[in-house]
Structure 1
């Protein structure tokens, strides 16, 4: 490079969010000294924290990187990028990119690529970019580069610029440019599980490594997840949490050491994992790089290993450092999200019934999925309870809002409804009383914006009828399937009336509810989609429920939740009640968190289903699926589990519930890693329906297997 190219001091890793310093030892001091206050970026002390984090990353990296900020794409870049653009530096600092590259801006692959990344938020990899770069000898000559672009977002999620990375050598350049894809992928992660998946996949491919590991702190201890070359993975594997391995606080595992000290470690040859190897894959690793995560919230590390000697080149070390920066920022965002998400969801679910009634002729199930980003408490609620008359009261409602206040009001409305129903179960009387309560809450809170809709019904199984009333809520759906007929879904003709608090005077409707029928109550988040007519959503729900393999409530809740395509920003709540043709048989088993538990479950389930004379083919499939779900529950929750089975004339339903937290594992065997995805694929293949239901304390995974029609007559005799 010519001597006119100004040199920016080689940076060391910055502290994200730290106030800029002006001393000569500060990374990027020459850049930070630029009069940014006169540019759209503004003075450094006023930079958005998310933008500041990107700038810290740019200035700390020896890899040529630049941030193009704002509508004019004003340039801010590091030392490597200054060398790349030659004599255009230092005048390019703080100037719009269109002015700096006026000679190539309108050519193919020029300005329109940057504009597309900025306007549309689309990352882009430009594999062969020809740039006029100053050379040591003679004027300017074209040089071929690979460049990557990815949108940069501020703390509110708004696109404010474009990050570009450029390099010249082929192999290293491909690795460097993949940082853009990596940054884009990490920007879409919400949890540490998500960060782990993206990080392991990227590092294994970008570094062509034999082993990659990701470590984060868990209180005083640690948890680590890894991936090895050649590990069999499929799409189903992505639906399960990564298989974390817990490590004690004083662990000697090499990946833990830089996480504690903050100092990176590079081993060229020496089998660094031999003393702490979990299996033969670890024992074969000869070269290992371990980089600490740069985060003020999360302690952790990223490691990449090879089974052969491996000299860590400066370019590779720079790429690893940049990767560690990106992973640290993503992990910090994920940790904050998980903390907020856990609090909100605990509040939400603590106000919902932990268990629904267990009745001989009425089978009940419910499902709740948070809308928006799952990071806020919502106002959807459901309930089912036995009335003094012996009938079953069912309710589903929606308190507008996605905050703690909405969840608190939901709790008040639900508690008041149950109290009113126990005193006088007539649906119109219950909703009239609730109307007065909501009006009073609105006056007390000084707001007229308290919007509550609810549908309440009383099911009398012995009289084969259901009486319903609605206050502004969508009409319930009934799937009718008398024995020997094809199913058909119909909406109850129910006058909805105004929402609660607006002088609601609901009218009741009584309709037949015979054996084989299933009642479905749902929130508007099930059928409403932006830019789609409500009638299309209602039709889609009815079609999906009609086509369901059975009227089982748990399966119908899953079907209803996914009936209308497209994302919803609203909460989704569903309550289903089936009037069984014959009483079902049920049994349960508490599963201890022990290595022998899956084997014990297999023996118990085989004996129980054989005693019930379940067809042999159904028994074999159920045992395989239950064993897989039990194993996953113990691995991923680390707590005891509960297996429940329910056999009706038409289907076998099995559920496995845990009471732990996803991703926290007390024991793990490495040889189960490669079978996890195949096991879940096996469940999809052998069952007729399956799904997952979050609960107040943990989660439940279930599957349903239909009993072959030729066997149902015998099943009817047994159940009767």
Structure 2
């Protein structure tokens, strides 16, 4: 007989008596059977009466169809299966009650065969279309059903007993296991694995509380989700809130992870010793399953607020889930180790701090390629020359491996040495050409492909002298005639890449106060599906339309100017010739609960002393407080707040030394309590972004200062 979707309610067991009848039993016993072929209950055959008593007293969904008309009676469990057809189905022919599906294979035919021919029938894991609530609504229910002929005391077949065990939940759990395997295949980091695992465990096991944890050097770190916790798109993208625990923590997850033995508590207080809030205190039943991998130790837990039996099938599903999650966590740990090594190598070869000059503002940004798992050859540098001028360079060594990064380090170091001896751009690149050619001969590798653009900024003469070895031409943003801004590519002879007999030529262009020059790698503008010209035009339009010429803001604008992901590394260096010197200050922020308050007081006093408009102060203090809280919360380390004020804008940055990673932009109206701070920054600032550093990351924002 038909089933339904969802869990089968388990009715309280009761005797089939007039005084104890309830629910379906009450309807069955109160039905006017005297007017049917079954006759009044007082005259029922003892064998038939015994079957009816068994059905009405059983918590398992059961139904009985009697006689040639297959009149229907059933218990509470079966009533829940047939939904809105109850109570009208009692005493009616089954063919009428289930007229919409009776003729389909495996429905009416098997019941009729059991009655007419005395054949028992068992069907496992059958999916059945069933209109449960209203006509026209057909849902898929999966259940195991059995039909057996029922005989009276004389041995004559008088009807059919149907037992239906709903198995949709098990089927859905197995399907969800397949879905989570696919989702885990796309994870890269432990943060990714945690998000997928927690979402899956909470849904598949219909749990009240789930956790995921891994070893973390001398201790452990765990992350939790609870039923009813509101997480929107922005929260899912933010890093999970990991909790640190000591190596000897008595928590069930950590005990299971250490021992490799799963733990199951059906009813008790399994989290009494480690409870941090009411969500932990309310847990009565808990399963803790270890993750068995060769690279890390970890575990997961599933908990309920009510007592819960742990049947073998559910324990097996949990073990299978842990196996999949453990494999993904192992891959993530390997990835993070490789990623961290590659990125540390890459960034350690780049300047950790750029020159701080009164009339030149400098910023740079480096983003790894599409997977971020390999060191690359893009590099930038800015340094003072003996003449007092500023040397700037951006280059690209072909390749995405450790060898490319090593070559990049050699080229960058050689360029700086050559520039300090003779800063003429053409002479520097000619010397580099000989070096790259020599490296190719020495290693037997004649496929070294290195492009570089090198320039010298002279603020006294207000000019910029450049030479290029096969590199994209720099972009300059200048004030336009209508009060806006324009962005133009400089006419720099590209020359040949280094190592190919490069004969560079120099170009000198005006570089007046208010101008900003942008050097970039080809990963900024190249996309497989569109022409290079399109990418260059998009970059120029984005730079011209930026709110200000501030270098940090322009670096962020440049890296996002061309739509779509790039498969190459991205490096950008921007230098602004300021109209007036800026004022700057900084504060070291300890990882303490009172730190955001101290930052607010310091920033308010500093900006008031600089006579910044009150509206700007209010917005800046609010945004800085949010960023400081975010840095301390996710990185868990001390932070550094830096402010830089020019006549045009206020720039504030908050740097940490943790491993938080890039904060993702999100629309304000989709952010919840944790993400709303970032949405607030997007609303109150004119530009904001994140910059990775050698260790940790920096989040910054810019607010334009009204003139007059």
TM-score between both structures, scaled by the size of structure 2:
0.75
* Secondary structure class of the residue paired with 2:403: helix
Does the 8 Å contact 1:357/1:385 carry over to 2?
A: yes
How far is 1:223 from its partner?
0.6
Aligned to 2:167: 169
**Residue 476 of structure 1: aligned partner:** 474
Give the corresponding residue for 1:404: 402
Cα–Cα, structure 1 residues 451 and 617, in superposed 2: closer, same or farther, change >3 Å?
same
The equivalent residue for 1:442 is: 440
Shift of 1:591: 0.9
Q: Is the CA contact (8 Å cut-off) linking 1:222 and 1:248 kept in structure 2? A: yes
In structure 1, the partner of 2:213 is 215
1:334 CA drift (Å): 0.4
CA separation of 1:597 and 1:484: change in aligned 2, threshold 3 A: farther
Change over 3 Å in CA distance of 1:485–1:503 after alignment to 2: same
Once the 2 structures are TM-superposed, how far is the Cα of residue 139 of structure 1 from its aligned partner? 8.9
2:707 matched to which residue of 1? 712
Closer, same or farther: CA 305–674 of 1 in aligned 2, 3 Å: farther
Aligned length: 553
- Structure 1 pair 280–484 and aligned structure 2 pair: CA distance change class (3 A): farther
1:554 offset after TM fit, Å?
0.8
Between the aligned partners of 1:402 and 1:166, the Cα distance in structure 2 is 54
CA contact (8 A) 1:545 1:559 kept: yes
Q: Deviations over 1:210-240 (max 9, x none)?
A: 2211110012311111122232333332343
How many angstroms does 1:637 deviate by? Answer: 2.1
Q: Deviations over 1:86-119 (max 9, x none)?
A: xxxxxxxxxxxxxxxxxxxxxxxxxxxxxxxxxx
Q: What is the aligned partner in structure 2 of residue 573 from structure 1?
A: 571
- Picking from 699, 702, 707, the partner of 1:701 is 699
C-alpha contact 1:236 1:681 (8 A) present in aligned 2 = no
Distance change (3 Å), C-alpha of 1:467 and 1:286? same
1:141 shift after superposition: 7.3
Matched, 1:610 2:616: no
What's the CA shift for 1:208?
Answer: 2.7
Q: 1:414 to 1:166 in 2, by over 3 A?
A: farther
Cross-structure match for 1:649: 647
Map of 1:39-188 to 2, 5 A cutoff?
Answer: 144-145=126-127, 169-188=167-186
Which residue in the other structure is 1:380 paired with? 378
Aligned residue in 2 for 1:203: 201
**Equivalence for 1:335:** 333
CA contact (8 A) 2:125 2:143 kept: no
RMSD: 2.4
Q: Deviations over 1:159-207 (max 9, x none)?
A: xxxxxx9998212322221122211111111111111111112222222
Distance in 1, matches of 2:621 and 2:271, equals: 38
- 2:265 maps to 267
CA distance in 2, matches of 1:617, 1:197: 39
Which of 532, 554, 562 in structure 2 is aligned with 1:556?
554
Go from structure 1 to structure 2 and tell me whether the alpha carbon gap of 1:318 and 1:696 turns closer, same or farther (over 3 Å shift): same
Q: CA deviation at 1:623?
A: 1.3
Tell me the secondary structure at the aligned position of residue 274 of structure 1.
Answer: coil
Deviations 1:28-75 (A, max 9, x none): xxxxxxxxxxxxxxxxxxxxxxxxxxxxxxxxxxxxxxxxxxxxxxxx
Out of 235, 238, 256, the residue aligned to residue 237 of structure 1 is 235
Instruction: State the partner residue of 1:394.
Output: 392
Pairwise CA distance, 1:483: 9.4
* Distance in 2 separating the partners of 1:495 and 1:138: 89
1:274-303 deviations in Å (ceiling 9; x for gaps) = 221112221122221211112121111111
Q: Distance in 2 between matches of 1:701 and 1:645?
A: 12
Supply the distance in 1 between the matched residues of 2:302 and 2:176 (Cα, whole angstroms). Answer: 16
Q: Helix, strand or coil: the match of 2:296?
A: coil
Residue deviations 1:357-392, cap 9 Å, x none? 011111110000111411111110000011111111
Q: Do the aligned residues in 2 keep the contact of 1:237 with 1:680 (CA within 8 Å)?
A: no
Other structure's SS at 1:554 match: helix
Distance 1:380 1:444 in 2: 22
Normalising to structure 1: TM-score of the pair? Answer: 0.74
Q: What is the 5 A alignment of 1:232-631?
A: 232-481=230-479, 485-631=483-629
What's the CA shift for 1:131? 11
Q: 1:142 to 1:259 in 2, by over 3 A?
A: closer
SS at match of 1:288: strand
Secondary structure, counterpart of 1:567 in structure 2: coil
Question: Deviations for 1:286-345, whole angstroms, at most 9, x for unmatched residues?
Answer: 221211112121111111222222223333323222211110000000011111111111
Tell me how far apart the structure 1 counterparts of residues 376 and 490 of structure 2 sit (CA, whole Å). Answer: 27
Tell me by how many angstroms 1:246 deviates.
0.8
**Distance of aligned partners of 1:308 and 1:553 in 2 relative to their CA distance in 1, 3 Å threshold:** same
Query: Do the aligned partners of 1:364 and 1:578 also contact (CA within 8 Å) in 2?
Result: yes
User: Which secondary structure state, in structure 2, belongs to the residue aligned with residue 371 of structure 1?
Assistant: coil
Post-superposition shift, 1:444? 0.6
Tell me how far 1:430 sits from its aligned partner: 0.7
Q: Within 2, Cα distance between the matches of 1:131 and 1:244?
A: 53
Take 2:519 and 2:143, find their aligned partners in 1: how far apart are those partners? 55
Alpha carbons of 1:611 and 1:314: their partners in 2 closer, same or farther (altered >3 Å)?
A: same
Residues 454, 466 of structure 2: 8 Å contact kept = yes
Contact 1:234 1:677 in 2 (8 A): no
The answer as to whether partners of 2:126 and 2:143 remain within 8 angstroms in 1 is: no
Distance 2:122 2:674 in 1: 56
Superposed CA offset, 1:15-36 (max 9, x none): xxxxxxxxxxxxxxxxxxxxxx
Distance between the aligned counterparts of 2:455 and 2:234, measured in 1?
39
Contact kept, 8 Å, 1:378 with 1:401, in 2: the verdict is yes
SS at match of 2:487: strand
Q: Deviations 1:377-435 (Å, cap 9, x if unpaired)?
A: 11100000111111111000000111111111101100111111111111111101111
Asked if the contact 1:298/1:335 (under 8 Å) is kept, the reply is yes
Q: More displaced, 614-623 or 499-508?
A: 614-623
Q: How far, CA to CA, are the matches of 2:123 and 2:240 in structure 1?
A: 49
Bigger Cα displacement from structure 2, 586-595 vs 198-207: 198-207
User: Relative to 1, partners in 2 of residues 1:140 and 1:278: Cα closer, same or farther, differing over 3 Å?
Assistant: closer
1:638 Cα offset (Å): 2.1
Name structure 2 gaps, 5 residues minimum: 1-103, 129-141, 145-165, 662-670
Deviation at 1:546, TM superposition (A): 1.5
Distance, in Å, in 1 between the alignment partners of 2:195 and 2:409 is 37
Which residue is 1:8 aligned to? none
